[in-house]
Structure 1
Amino acid sequence: MAELAADPVLTQDLRARLKGRSTVRHTGRVVQALGTSLLVSGLPVRIGQRCEVHDQLTDTVVLADVVGINRGDAVLVPLGGIQGIAVDSSVRIVSERVTVPVGDALLGRVIDGFGQVLDQHGPLKASDHVPLNAPAPNPLSRLRVKQRFITGVKSIDSLISVGVGQRLGIFAPAGVGKSTLLGMLAMHATADVIVVGLIGERGREVREFIEDALSESARSRAVIVVATSDRPAMERANAAVTATAIAEGYRDAGHKVLLLMDSITRYARAIREVGLAVGEPPVRQGFPPSVFAELPRLFERAGNSATGSITAFYTVLTDDDDGLDPVAEETRSILDGHIVLSR
């Protein structure tokens, strides 16, 4: 009986589908739930993996990310509420490598911090995906900042010119106009693609930004990532990384990308919640070390590459007009430029 020859196309497709997926299914169990973290035993995990927590009695299913390992047990932070989860709830790994969608199908859409659609325009049919936690470009592969970026805001273009691929912070106390300025940049800036990350905003402000700050033309080439203030800390933190990963996907495709994030302060507070929940010590005004490790990791992913560019604006909420707080100080030391708004 003749053997069937393997189809190389089907074999390659199968390998692509199986890449990053475990062929062995392990199951652990919840041994402790404290605050916003879960302690899981019996599950061989790695940092960054995504798991599914299932309680058979209540039929509750919650996704959670592995953020730490404590004496052989895994520390998971849920991506949603943990109501219904109990001791001995089963836990299994569902994703070895977390990715986010990119491509033309994403333009004009509003998604949450996990890449799920929030608008009413039907399911998302993205053909391409990029890793959520990609490393920053090699410093020697970055193109130098030589070209001027037209923001469309006269006071910025005439007095404090911005270069393509720069990363700038907008520093101001509450109620001064950071979000308004961000809306002006979204409306008037010259860019192929606009990626907006609304992190920890009030729910009513999201729709106001989409309908008032974005024109029809800007909306058609924009991707909006939303995690409102009521969402779990892990989702708020994840939304900032998701917006950055999406911007990277368009940059790698050769586009000139504008990344707008409001706000870095709320991203840092979300990281603080996660860090304190897993037992990190507070070191600077209640902020654990992970906050000051994650900020440069996020910022360095923006900028120029050999194929495209990400010009980024991040709003930073300061406690006073001098902006003397840990997040503002750290952000100021990392970014390429600063725009300070006074009362």
Structure 2
Amino acid sequence: MPFDFDQLIRDIDSIPDCSRYGRVTAVSGLMVEVGGIEKELSVGGRCIVETRDRRRIPCEVVGFRQGRALAMPFGALDGVGLGCRALVAGDQAMIYPTDAWLGRVVNALGEPVDGKGPLPKGPQGTPIRNNPPNAHSRARVGEKLDLGIRAINAFLTCCRGQRMGIFAGSGVGKSSVMSMLARFSAAEVAVIGLIGERGRELQEFITEDLGEEGLARSVVVCATSDEAPLMRKQAAYMTLAVAEHFRDQGR
């Protein structure tokens, strides 16, 4: 595989000229108070807290109190104590999807979790949290979309741009229907968000329900039920951002 020098140059250009950091002043439950960089942060912005053993925990700023920034972590706070460094990570979280993301499984931060190596970055970034389009500028529902399931095509016909909810009790086939939509629909790309699933169900869905055929044309974003609440929330935004990237390509 040829080395991507263009990607290397983009990575070098993205390195900040300097690092701005503050210190952890308090920890209460899942809330971290950070001082010293409150003027550099804003609600929705990111900071990275370093633990005693040099692990890095990404956090999201959710508010301010008495001149301190309040942040919630994307992971466990084990090892975080008073005085730990908190680095400013920027306000706008971006992802850089490409066609190489097809067939891959990523977490809520866009990091690969399938053991297939790092994900290449595309040339153009997509914000994880996009502003919704104005109601007057939204496209109308398009032509009929073949979902690959005759019963749904006949009794619940869907068109391009339309939403459809699948609601049912546990164990009656929701995952099976979703995997059939991913494998057999006329859509070129399927973006699947598995949020709040049990850990054992994730691999079962990917290997048995989705299969190699469905995974090859899909991007799976996962955040299991044992992960932090902020990770599960972020997974929903990540799923939409990846879907918007391929939507903008007409796929």
Report deviation, 1:67: 1.6
Contact 1:186 1:213 (C-alpha < 8 Å) held by counterparts:
no
* 1:234 has 2:222 as partner: no
What pairs up with 1:197-216 in 2 under 5 angstroms?
197-216=193-212
TM-score (norm 2): 0.87
Counterpart selection for 2:116 from 93, 118, 121: 121
- Map of 1:39 onto structure 2: 33
- Map of 1:172 onto structure 2: 168
Letter in structure 1 aligned against 2:249:
A
Report deviation, 1:154: 1.8
Counterpart selection for 1:152 from 148, 155, 174: 148
Unaligned runs of 5+ in 2: 1-8
Counterpart selection for 1:76 from 64, 71, 74: 71
Letter in structure 2 aligned against 1:38:
V
Equivalent-residue separation in structure 1 for 2:119 and 2:178 (angstroms): 26
Listed one character per residue, the Cα deviations across residues 243-277 of structure 1 (whole Å, up to 9, x for unaligned) are 1000001111221xxxxxxxxxxxxxxxxxxxxxx
* 1:30 has 2:24 as partner: yes
Listed one character per residue, the Cα deviations across residues 136-159 of structure 1 (whole Å, up to 9, x for unaligned) are 123233221131111112221111
* 1:93 has 2:82 as partner: no
* 1:54 has 2:50 as partner: yes
Listed one character per residue, the Cα deviations across residues 114-133 of structure 1 (whole Å, up to 9, x for unaligned) are 11111122211122431111
Identity %: 36
TM-score (norm 1): 0.65
Listed one character per residue, the Cα deviations across residues 42-76 of structure 1 (whole Å, up to 9, x for unaligned) are 21211122111124x43342111112222321111
Deviates more, 1:188-197 or 1:91-100: 91-100
Q: Tell me, what secondary structure is at the counterpart of 1:201?
A: coil
Letter in structure 2 aligned against 1:167:
R
Q: Tell me, what secondary structure is at the counterpart of 1:230?
A: coil
Equivalent-residue separation in structure 2 for 1:32 and 1:174 (angstroms): 41
Listed one character per residue, the Cα deviations across residues 64-119 of structure 1 (whole Å, up to 9, x for unaligned) are 11122223211111111100100121211023321123111111111111111111
Contact 1:53 1:61 (C-alpha < 8 Å) held by counterparts:
yes
- Map of 2:104 onto structure 1: 109
What pairs up with 1:133-148 in 2 under 5 angstroms?
133-148=129-144
Report deviation, 1:215: 4.2
Letter in structure 1 aligned against 2:108:
G
Contact 2:179 2:214 (C-alpha < 8 Å) held by counterparts:
no
Counterpart selection for 1:183 from 179, 194, 197: 179
Q: Tell me, what secondary structure is at the counterpart of 2:246?
A: helix
Counterpart selection for 1:219 from 215, 218, 233: 215
- Map of 1:292 onto structure 2: none
How many residues end up aligned between the 2 structures?
Answer: 239
Contact 1:106 1:126 (C-alpha < 8 Å) held by counterparts:
no
In angstroms, what is the RMSD of aligned CA positions? Answer: 2.1
Q: Tell me, what secondary structure is at the counterpart of 1:191?
A: coil
Letter in structure 1 aligned against 2:101:
L
What pairs up with 1:236-275 in 2 under 5 angstroms?
236-255=232-251
Unaligned runs of 5+ in 1: 1-12, 256-343
Letter in structure 1 aligned against 2:218:
A
Q: Tell me, what secondary structure is at the counterpart of 2:167?
A: strand
Listed one character per residue, the Cα deviations across residues 197-231 of structure 1 (whole Å, up to 9, x for unaligned) are 00011122111211222243322211011111111
Equivalent-residue separation in structure 2 for 1:41 and 1:236 (angstroms): 27
Equivalent-residue separation in structure 2 for 1:208 and 1:59 (angstroms): 34
Listed one character per residue, the Cα deviations across residues 286-325 of structure 1 (whole Å, up to 9, x for unaligned) are xxxxxxxxxxxxxxxxxxxxxxxxxxxxxxxxxxxxxxxx
Contact 1:60 1:85 (C-alpha < 8 Å) held by counterparts:
no
Report deviation, 1:24: 5.8
